[in-house]
Amino acid sequence: MKDQDKTRLFPGLQFNLGDRKLRFPKPLQNRSVKIVLISFLILSALYLILRIAFFENDPVLPFLKSVYHFYLFLPENIAGFIFDSAGTNVKIIDHHLVFDTQGAYHDSYSKYISNWPEYLFYKKWVVLILLLIWCTYSSFKRKSLFSILFVIVHIASMVGGLILLAIIGPRYIDEDTQFFLSPTLAGTLLFYLFVLFWVSTSKNDIRKTISKIGINLSISDRTFTEILSLFFLLLLLKDFLIPFFAFKPYVIFLLRVSQALAGLFGFEGYIIGDQLIGAAGALALSKHCLGFMTMYIFASLIFITRPDNRSITVKYMAIGTVAIFAANLLRLFLVFIVAQGENGYDRANLHHEIYNIAIYILIFLLWVLWFEVILRKKKFFK
């Protein structure tokens, strides 16, 4: 068959109609990727054969559960020793925390107390980090070393969560406390720090891995470090700063502005706590509705693609942040208006998601304006 009979479906995949040869995407042409895929398929087939031909009951899940419960004893014993040293009467019995007293704190954190492994085992983190370690193109010794370090971090994260849950929480949190101290914060921070350490010490291995799967990536060490640092700060903002503080003055400010805007259009409302209540519906502000994340994402994009001219970077960053802040205010006002209509609750939820998408589109358009118009017009980039 001639060349013109060849049909290219998408880059990297070519199907020859004449000799029936199939060329896979470049990542699948890599020898290491092929070995992983073939090994997975062989193990899956072997498991199915054993499951169908020999075992009446699935032996894998009971075995994994026994390993899981055995592993839990390690952080439990460490935490139990710390509980005794701190003079608490908290015990861990059958993987359950048992307090000698009950109160408002225990009611607020009951789901963590009654089933702490579900929250403090961090199953998704375990799978993600181990996949990152073992799928990276590096030596077996290095992978094993980081895996051992991760096990230590994982145990420390569970112990840290138990300390927050059983020692720190009951002592410093009561009915009047204005912040939420999640027991998962300690572990999440440790995981962030571990990933930060692993990535910063494995830059060459990561680059080699990316090149091995057919992706050409050219990025300087400075930009690599900046992206990693900004991503780390994003995680801190999302999981630590925003959940920890109440931001009450800022919440009241947003509600009052929304109330004033709604009043201009004949929609009256009054503020109670973190809600703007109208005649037929209410606007409730969660911490992730305050606009911090979107403003940070925009500022990070501008920072990463900045020229040497600091003045124009700061000016555009300030202008764009104000625009996103105004768009977020408009979003809150519109959600409140929609909530006053028929089927207001359902329609407000739908419009809330639509307005969220609109704000991320705005961020993208502002970045396009920055990179494609302002920087190129000023000839900062060619």
Hey, what are 150's tokens?
């991760």
pTM: 0.65
What pLDDT does residue 218 have? 66
What pLDDT does residue 7 have? 39
* Type of residue numbered 313: T
pLDDT digits (tens, 9 = 90+) for 243-257: 777 788 888 899 899
185 CB neighbour count, 10 Å cutoff:
18
CA-closest candidate to residue 180, choices 163, 165, 201: 165
CA-closest candidate to residue 137, choices 234, 266, 27: 27
Domain boundaries, the chain: 3-53, 64-242, 248-377
Alpha helix stretches (DSSP H) within the chain: 26-29, 31-53, 60-85, 104-108, 110-114, 116-120, 123-134, 140-163, 169-172, 184-201, 203-212, 221-236, 242-244, 248-264, 292-304, 310-339, 344-368, 376-377
CA-closest candidate to residue 336, choices 273, 272, 285, 287: 285
Per-residue pLDDT tens digits of the chain, which is 382 residues long: 444 444 333 344 343 444 444 454 555 556 666 677 787 788 777 777 766 666 666 666 777 788 888 999 999 999 999 999 988 888 998 888 888 877 778 888 888 888 899 999 998 889 999 998 988 888 889 999 999 999 999 999 999 999 999 998 888 776 665 566 788 888 988 998 899 899 889 888 888 887 776 656 566 777 777 887 888 888 888 877 787 777 888 888 998 998 898 888 888 888 888 888 888 788 888 777 888 999 999 999 898 888 888 888 899 999 999 999 999 999 888 888 888 877 777 777 777 788 888 999 999 999 888 888 887 776 655 4
Instruction: Measure the CA–CA gap between 232 and 198, rounded to whole angstroms.
Output: 13
Instruction: Measure the CA–CA gap between 139 and 147, rounded to whole angstroms.
Output: 12
User: With 0-12 CB in 10 A as exposed, 13-18 as middle and 19+ as buried, what is 195?
Assistant: buried
- Tell me if 198 sits within 8 A of 132, measured CB to CB: yes
Instruction: Measure the CA–CA gap between 215 and 203, rounded to whole angstroms.
Output: 15
Instruction: Measure the CA–CA gap between 2 and 354, rounded to whole angstroms.
Output: 50
- Tell me if 18 sits within 8 A of 5, measured CB to CB: yes
SS3 label, residue 334: helix
* Type of residue numbered 151: V
Instruction: Measure the CA–CA gap between 72 and 95, rounded to whole angstroms.
Output: 8
- The DSSP call for residue 24 is P
pLDDT digits (tens, 9 = 90+) for 22-62: 454 555 556 666 677 787 788 777 777 766 666 666 666 77
